[in-house]
Each structure stands twice: as C-alpha cells, then as structure tokens.
Amino acid sequence: MDTGNIIDKAVSLPIEDRIMLVDILLHSLNPPESHIDGKWAVLAQKRLDDLRSGRVSGVDGEKVFTSIIEKYRK
C-alpha cells in the first residue's frame, strides 16, 4: 500500500480514530521522555504557584504577540 492510499484511508476514519492516529504518529516522531516531562511539570507548578501567590503577575497574551510582531515588523 502506498502513502497516498494510507492517507486516503486515514482521512476517511471517524474523528476519534484520526485523533488517535495523529497521537500515535506524533509520539513515534518524538517519544516522550519521562525525566524531561517531570522537570517541565515541576517548573510549570512553580510558575503557577508564583502566579497564584502574587510573586509575579501575568501578561496578556495578545499584548505579548502584538509586541513581538511590532518588534520584528521593521
């Protein structure tokens, strides 16, 4: 079976099966590394704690993206 046939069959699958297929394919390209995932989880929890405690304040995402676009539009 060639790639075109596989793609045709894949896009005709129900949405739930396509989601599962995409997840499997992505994991095959970039397998999860639990030791790295654990470090990200610790960092994410620290940042959430900092936000909730008021040690840091959040920045509106739209302002961030506008600022980046303006910076590199030159």
The values of phi and psi at residue 42, to 5°, are: -65, -45
Q: Give the pLDDT of residue 30.
A: 87
Answer yes or no: is pLDDT of 61 > 80.
Answer: yes
Answer yes or no: is pLDDT of 9 > 90.
Answer: yes
Q: What is the DSSP letter of 12?
A: T
Q: Give the pLDDT of residue 50.
A: 97
* 21-57 pLDDT, tens digit each: 999 999 999 888 889 999 999 999 999 999 999 999 9
Contacts of 58 (CB under 8 A, 6+ apart): 51
Contacts of 10 (CB under 8 A, 6+ apart): 18, 21
* Separation CA 65–CA 32 (nearest Å): 29
